[in-house]
Structure 1
Amino acid sequence: MSTSLSGRRVVILGGTSGIGLATASLAARQGAQVVTVSSSTDSAARALAALPAGTSAEVADLRDPAQIGAVFERVGAFDHLVFTAGEPLALMRLDELDIDTAREFFALRYFGALGAVAAAAPLLRPGGSVVLTSGTASSRPGPGWAVAASICGAVEALVRALAVELAPIRVNAVSAGVVRSPLWSRIEPAERERMYEQTGANLPLGRVGEVAEVAEAYVYLLRQSYATGTVVSVDGGTALA
């Protein structure tokens, strides 16, 4: 059985850019009442202009539990929580490790997600769900990926623990490979295209992904009524490369 999103309230933290925006758009087109949450007022405004009518936006620093809590107080009861927020992860080899920077990455991608679920859980309606975000670094790390791999691994462990603790609320995650996304916007355009080309050439599908393709996995997990504690990979075959 699949659950229709028509009339369901979906809160997407990080839903104003990249995979989060694509997920917000797809969920809204399937009838969901979407609330996007971003740390940037400008990003929230751009997203609202691009998303279907009826979408709303909140602005909050997802590293701050008080701001997260205030967002959910304003939102009230809802059905599904999606966490896609994240900044570009810098590669850090051990001989160049900056512990403070590593903690900052965990502050948003792991503790931000944990804090959001803790604040949202009392407001999730029966039949609701949570979808978090992992990545292929957890199973296919390379040199310099210790921090990124640790975050992804921690999120996947969190999914399993929360699926037990919050049952029957469903808790899952999507693990995405490299996709064309604003996440890579700090890289010069020519260098970014070379990265996409070189990465894609080593994958079974021969290309990197698109945000709309990954969004399909998030919406699938919102609608899939018998999946919990799972991580769905959308990686072009990264695990096989």
Structure 2
Amino acid sequence: MTLQDQRVVILGGTSGIGLATAQLAAEQGASVIVASSNPSSVQRALTALPASAAGQAVDLTDSAAVAAFFAGLEPFDHLVYTAGEALTLLEVRTMDLAQARQAFELRYFGALGAVSAAVPRLRPGGSVVLTTGAAGDRPGPGWSVAASICGAVDSLVRALAVELAPLRVNAVKPGVVRTPLWRDALDYDATAEHLPVQRVGEPEDIAAAYVYLMNQPYATGSIVSVDGGHVLV
């Protein structure tokens, strides 16, 4: 199966995993629309995508802006949400609750708001693919907020799969991936030594899972882990 002649909207699709997903979807024949909050990031992404791709800067924490973005789109087949901010570990003893709420605002409420606004534009037989993370299954010190977001998204996927049926709703659960969001928070080499696959993930590794879920007509409420064995060690 391929995405030939389908339309795919990727929020957070201008860098890292989102951009890799946009590129792979385009290789399969999809028309891709990418969005993120940074106009210059959108423009850079469009230079890496086919001429048929489109992009727009949208504040994904602004529900009115998100609603206006989807209202301006023609019907499409798949929504992918990969948006996130640079990873910051927050220890409970020194917790900045404002920062914690901000993380939920983009990664959880941003996803929920995007789905709500997108549903009227999604064609029959289409799908939504959200993003969770391995931290929800195997957190470390400082991961309470990140793990909580992952757990919330996991539950959201299952609930939406029931509520929005027969529209399919799934998620990808990455482990450590070599993207700008992780760059300043982790030592990639040290992390790789502890993983069964002996390397951290690349955006292209994770993109394949998003495209698989878009193509898989019998998957809904599914969460596909692509974590290099993170939860095993």
Q: What range describes the TM-score normalised by the shorter chain of this pair?
A: over 0.9
Aligned twin of 2:67: 69
Alpha-carbon distance, 1:89 to partner: 2.6
Alpha-carbon distance, 1:58 to partner: 1.3
Identity %: 62
Aligned counterparts of 2:128 and 2:21: Cα–Cα separation in 1: 14
Alpha-carbon distance, 1:52 to partner: 1.4
Alpha-carbon distance, 1:184 to partner: 2.8
- Provide structure 1 residue ranges, at least 5 long, that are not aligned to the other structure: none
Summarize deviations over 1:21-55 as a string: whole Å, max 9, x none.
Answer: 00000000100000001101100000001111200
Aligned counterparts of 2:138 and 2:59: Cα–Cα separation in 1: 30
Summarize deviations over 1:75-108 as a string: whole Å, max 9, x none.
Answer: 1211000000001231111111111100000000
Aligned counterparts of 1:99 and 1:7: Cα–Cα separation in 2: 44
The question of 1:198 aligning with 2:190 is answered yes
Aligned counterparts of 2:29 and 2:198: Cα–Cα separation in 1: 34
Aligned twin of 1:134: 132
CA contact (8 A) 1:13 1:85 kept: yes
Aligned twin of 1:210: 202
CA contact (8 A) 1:89 1:105 kept: no
Alpha-carbon distance, 1:206 to partner: 0.7
CA contact (8 A) 1:19 1:214 kept: yes
So what's the TM-score if we normalise by structure 2? 0.98
CA contact (8 A) 1:93 1:143 kept: yes
CA contact (8 A) 2:13 2:21 kept: yes
Aligned twin of 1:49: 47
Give the aligned CA root-mean-square deviation in angstroms. Answer: 1.0
CA contact (8 A) 2:86 2:180 kept: no
Aligned counterparts of 2:111 and 2:120: Cα–Cα separation in 1: 15
Structure 1 residue ranges, 4+ long, deviating more than 6 angstroms after superposition: none
